[in-house]
Amino acid sequence: MLRHAVITGWGHCVPDRVVTNKDLEARIATNDEWIWTRTGIRERRIAGPGETTSSLSTIAARRALACARLPAATLDLVISATTTPDHLLPNTGSLVQQALGATRAGAFDLNAACTSFLYGLAVGAQFIATGALERILVVAGETLSRFTNWDDRNTCVLFGDGAGAVVLEATDEECGVLSTVLGSAGDADHLLAIEASGSAKPATAETLARGEHFITMRGSNIFKLAVRAMTQAAVEALAKAGLAVADVRAELAHQANVRILRSTQAALGLPWEKFVINLDRYGNTGAASVPLVLSEYASTGAARPGDDFLLASFGGGLTWAASVVRWGDVEAIIRRREAQSVPAHLHGPKRPIDRAAGVRTLQ
């Protein structure tokens, strides 16, 4: 029997520090009216000195696990979706896995820019559909502010920091991730890029002086491609799930620009009221944007069993994706799991680290 990956927990975390459009007016040649009318953003959250992608991700993940009433030690896998990892090495997923105490879980990072969360959701759903794994955390965190040139008004008004997470569990019921469509166009790589600090162009004093470690973007080119790609992917994801636009309860899309969402809405023929928006408060939080809007929405209790949600995103690469997610009867699924006696070995480390050897010992 085909198993589905259902969302049983959700959580998000944003830094406390708020930077408003007015605050930016004091720094660069911009104004609240331009930012608001061109983007739909009023303010964004910016990570403080002690906050990192992994620390925001860990808090979001803890909230998702608490929501699912699931101990971290029962997770099989941590997928960390991010464009702005704490380090190139080690991966952020392992830092989150360790901070959570997910002692049985594998962990890795996945980077498809702002589309990373939907790619992570697709990967997690496949592990569950094949029967390989039972419980997976997909967490997306970003500290885009650390890669933003705060003197570049073309980009610095757009981005914000934050994290969102979901717990995926196996179910035999017809719910959870029903379909996914993934896309990429590597020939448009120049539209959104961080040119230096990778292996192709390692950081040097010159690259730093030229600001090549910051995000650069050709906004209007991305705008057109984003609308086309998200609309096409959404239509295909709905068809794969056997659903029509009218069946969609709400669209939880990448929060990059309200005008992009308006154009996508018009192309899809979905009522604007069905688009859930939080970019006015958070700006574009990259990979974190879709789980952040999903978590806020689900936390209000608005998602009901059987509701079909359309998730869509696009980002650097370029990459894009859409997914149809049917909300499960989360409380019933958690109660059934809790009623089953969880084998004792699931509560302890499956592969304890032999710290003397510095490696995990396989059992």
Question: Catalytic: which of 114, 156, 175, 257?
Answer: 114
Residues contacting residue 253 through CB under 8 Å, at least 6 positions apart: 230, 261, 264, 275, 290, 293, 310, 311, 312, 313
* Interface residue with ligand ACO, options 46, 100, 105, 256 (CB under 6 A): 256
Site string for ligand ACO, 8-27 (x = CB under 6 A): --------------------
Q: Among 10-18, 217-225, 298-306, 325-333, which window interacts with ligand ACO (CB under 6 A)? A: 217-225
* Interface residue with ligand ACO, options 75, 125, 222, 261 (CB under 6 A): 222
When asked if residue 157 is in the footprint of ligand ACO (CB under 6 A), the reply is yes
Beta carbon of residue 38, minimum distance to ligand ACO (angstroms, whole number): 4
When asked if residue 192 is in the footprint of ligand ACO (CB under 6 A), the reply is yes
When asked if residue 186 is in the footprint of ligand ACO (CB under 6 A), the reply is no
When asked if residue 40 is in the footprint of ligand ACO (CB under 6 A), the reply is no
Residue 154 or 299 with smaller CB distance to ligand ACO: 154
Q: Among 32-40, 52-60, 63-71, 299-307, which window interacts with ligand ACO (CB under 6 A)? A: 32-40
What residues from 295 to 324 belong to the interface with ligand ACO (CB under 6 A)?
Answer: 315-316
Q: Are 261 and 277 in contact (CB under 8 A)?
A: yes
175 is catalytic: no
Beta carbon of residue 23, minimum distance to ligand ACO (angstroms, whole number): 13
* Interface residue with ligand ACO, options 36, 147, 150, 223 (CB under 6 A): 223
Using DSSP bridges, classify how beta strands 192-194 and 319-326 pair: parallel, antiparallel or unpaired: unpaired
When asked if residue 85 is in the footprint of ligand ACO (CB under 6 A), the reply is no
Beta carbon of residue 95, minimum distance to ligand ACO (angstroms, whole number): 22
When asked if residue 55 is in the footprint of ligand ACO (CB under 6 A), the reply is no
Q: Among 3-11, 13-21, 152-160, 302-310, which window interacts with ligand ACO (CB under 6 A)? A: 152-160
Alpha carbon dihedral 130, 9, 178, 244, in 10-degree steps, equals: 180
254 is catalytic: yes
When asked if residue 147 is in the footprint of ligand ACO (CB under 6 A), the reply is no
Beta carbon of residue 251, minimum distance to ligand ACO (angstroms, whole number): 16
Question: Catalytic: which of 67, 111, 254, 278?
Answer: 254
* Residues with catalytic function: 114, 254, 284
Binding site for ligand ACO (CB under 6 A): 30, 34-35, 38-39, 113-114, 153-154, 157, 192, 217, 219-220, 222-223, 256-257, 284, 286, 315-316
